[in-house]
Amino acid sequence: MKQVYVNGGYTTKFGELWKRDFRDLGVEAAVNAVQNSKINLQDIDVLYVANMAASHYTGQDHLGALFATELGLDCPAFHIEAACASGSAAIRAGFLDLLSGSSENALILGVEKMTDVNTKNATEGLSGASDEEWEAFYGVTFPSLYAMIAREHMNRYGTSHEQLAMCSVKNHKHGTLNPDAHFQKEITVEQVLRSPVVADPLKLFDSSPISDGAAAIVMSSKKKSEIRLIASGHAQDSLALHDRKDITILEATIKAKERAFKQSKLKNKDIDIMEVHDCFSIAEILAYEDLGFVEKGKGGQFVESGDTQMDGSIPTNLSGGLKAAGHPVGATGVKQAVEIVKQLTGKAGKRQVQKDMKYGLTHNIGGSGATCIVNIFEKI
């Protein structure tokens, strides 16, 4: 059976990059990822470009052709869109392409430029990941969707505002060690609780920012590195929140995790490090529960225990997560992969986990849980 190796990766600075444009960010990430790999740019057989809303934010479509042109490539090039899970969806597409034998070297690029429009236009662009007819049309935004989830979780399981805040505090602490992070400043639980309400009970500091940035990886079916992508689980749930039986459970996460674990023949106890989707603090708590690291309702206590800190039993979001590293939506899933590869190879700098690690997991959500992709990486 063919194997898929991750040969090189790169992440640009994330943040409000007003002096950078969409093409510039994507080319920086792609060129540096290839340079960090052991192949030449002209050896790339296929290009997958992950992006959610370039047509809305920049007016640009046909992104495969755009970046193939910028990079001087004539190989097949595709635009992959799965809302905030676009990056992981592109990785999965490349993974399956390489396993099929159709290609030998794949370049996966995730890029988003979000800060050149005002907040209203940015929100409208993001709302396309919800149900336009039954949610966005009535003014329901993603903060309000996740606020409904948070409120029900708090009512049912006793999850506290403080536990929500601890997710953000942890991720900001990790973000101070990441020079590419959007935010590199520690915050306190009290600061989170005092921050403005966005959608009750979620505060401003419970929420990931609108960011610019790009990330890229190079994958190959020939061994050129010590990191393999060994599994990719993908699942869907209803697009609209109101169609779900229980809004405190993201069924797509449960199914994507089960599929990835079945492929890899791993169990939760085998995972050494994770990057999970924390668009809002409640999303990180749901991730711990729906990935099976704690039972439903115990995610807040898990964060409070310290097990997800850098020195904890399952270090999580060492990049700073979406909350502190930033969330340029098309780039997020690829950035997660770059972080796991850095950690497994001991190249994460000041945020390097000081223990032997073999398996890393990324968890990437699209919308309010309609899409989930779980990718598992192995150090060999």
Q: Which of 153, 161, 174, 327 is catalytic?
A: 327
Closest CA to 172 of 319, 347, 362, 284: 319
Q: Would residue 372 show up in a list of annotated catalytic residues for this protein? A: no
CA 235 – CA 155 distance, rounded (Å): 28
The catalytic residue among 84, 167, 279, 372 is 84
15 secondary structure, DSSP code: B
Report helix, strand or coil for 125: helix
By three-state DSSP, how is residue 85 classified? coil
Q: How far apart are CA 358 and CA 68, in angstroms?
A: 34
Residue 271's nearest CA partner among 306, 228, 313 is 313
Please report where in the chains the tokens 């992440």 appear, as a residue. Answer: 11
Q: Is 143 helix (H, G, I), strand (E, B) or coil?
A: helix
**Is 327 a known active-site residue?**
yes
Contact between 373 and 367 under an 8 Å Cβ cutoff? The reply is no
Cα–Cα distance measured from residue 192 to residue 169, given in angstroms and rounded to the nearest whole number: 8
Residues 6+ apart with CB under 8 A from 42: 72, 73
66-75 in b/e form (b: 16+ CB < 10 A) is: bbbeebebeb
341: three-class secondary structure by DSSP: helix
Measured CA to CA in angstroms, residue 285 lies from 49, 282, 293, 312 at distances of: 29, 5, 10, 16
Per-residue b or e along 267-286, where b marks 16 or more CB atoms closer than 10 Å to that residue's CB:
eeeebbbbbbbbbbbbbbbb
Query: Residues with catalytic annotation?
Result: 84, 327
